[in-house]
Amino acid sequence: MFKFIYPIPEILPDNRARFIQIINTCHALANKGVKVEILTGYRKGYDENKILEFYGLSSNENLKIIPLPILRREKEKYFRISCNEVFYFSLLLHLFTHKKSNSIIFCRHLKLAKFLLKFRKFLKLPMIFEVHEIFHKNENLKESKKVKIKNVEIKVYNEFDILICITEHLKNAIEEFLWKKNKIVIIPDAVREEWFTKERNFNPSFILYTGSLYEWKGVDTLVSSMKFLPNEKLLIIGDGERLKEIKDLATKEKVAPRVIFVGSVSHKEIPKYLSQAKVAVIPNILKGPSLFSSPLKLFEYMASGIPIVASDLKVFREILKPNETAIFFEPGNPESLAEAIKKILNSKELADKLGANAKKIAEQYTYEKRAEKILNICKVLIKNDT
């Protein structure tokens, strides 16, 4: 069996979605008998066991989280540091001084991927890059920055052995940059199996959103929709720089007393809130990463059996079916969102059908099944590399 090397040029633990996805994917691979090394920075006071505990995971003899020096300070308001060179040098030293036969490098950080390609002929290891968005399509970037990032993306897309895309729509967008179009594999995000066993409250009490508060996530639309739902409460689990802005919007729309901001909570606590939700919402607007998104919350909502209301985006239609596993609404339209929520609230039969159907479909998207798909890719890579 081969070894799976996953470098993360950031500090763990961290509650953001990308880290939850990485850790759970690596843990599922380890459960399949694969040796996995996560190379990353450690937050003060944490060791391997505490990091796994943070994510609600048990230790596994096949999974090692190895600390590397890293110079990064991003939580501070005025004095932030993000210097990758210390981590990169330490990573190279580790790769060159440890046995790495039958190993595969896997990463999802674009700058790190570019750096690793410089040393590819010395490392002599197959490489997999997981794509979650196309960075040069960011509307907020200056044109010169877009060109620079696009060149990096084209290099990484073409020189890595395999690309994993989380949606079909993302795959189609990337193919225009590829010389070999058969190197892309679609593997969506996933959910842990134990989320299927969480029992729902028979008397749910609120509409629920979990996740970050970036503009493209559409939380503004959700908050504004509450003025069309005068008898309902909205619970928002999430934090970030836009928290005050979202709270101000709730005040402006005169719905603040009915919008509860929980803030950031541990990922392992999310099922507790899901069990009490009437409806779970994915309100992304048609902008930025939403064009390619495969959010963790989608699969977590589905596995929990909660009726879902989602923006009518192509990427969501890859997983959800209208009126069968979700009710769709016009992206960015608060009134359309409110009407979609009302459909579910006004029909227990519809709510039960949506929840049950979505839960059944979610069985195809566990981390265990995700790990199996990645393993199949790795077996081919190792065979071709020997």
The DSSP H or E segment spanning 222 is: helix 219-225
Domain at 3-190+366-385, CATH class: alpha beta
> Could you read off the pLDDT of 346-377 as tens digits, one per residue?
999 999 999 999 999 999 999 999 999 999 99
Please give the pLDDT value at position 278: 96
Cis peptide before 13 (omega within 30 of 0): yes
Check if 3-190+366-385 and 193-365 are the same fold.
Answer: yes
Start-to-end CA distance of the chain, whole Å, equals 13
110-128: per-residue pLDDT in tens?
A: 999 999 999 999 999 999 9
- Dihedral over Cα of 143, 146, 148, 151: its sign: negative
Question: Cα 362–273–334 angle (5° rounding)?
Answer: 80
Protein fold of 193-365: Rossmann fold (3.40.50)
Residue 46: Cβ within 10 Å count: 18
Spell out a b/e string for 193-204, using b for 16 or more CB atoms within 10 Å of the CB, else e. eebbeeeeeeeb
The b-or-e profile of 328-361 (16+ CB within 10 A means b, else e) is bbebbbbebbbbbbbbbbeeeeebeebbebbbeb
The lowest-confidence range among 7-11, 175-179, 246-250, 251-255 is 175-179
pLDDT bucket at 79, cuts 50 / 70 / 90: very low
Q: What is the pLDDT of residues 287-297, one digit of tens each?
A: 888 989 889 99
What is the average pLDDT across 29-58?
A: 96
Lowest mean pLDDT among 81-95, 124-138, 230-244: 81-95
**pLDDT at residue 386, rounded to an integer:** 54
**Domain limits, the chain:** 3-190+366-385, 193-365
User: For 242-269, what is the mean pLDDT?
Assistant: 96
Please indicate whether residue 202 or residue 51 has the higher confidence score (pLDDT). Answer: 51
Residue 78: pLDDT over 60? no
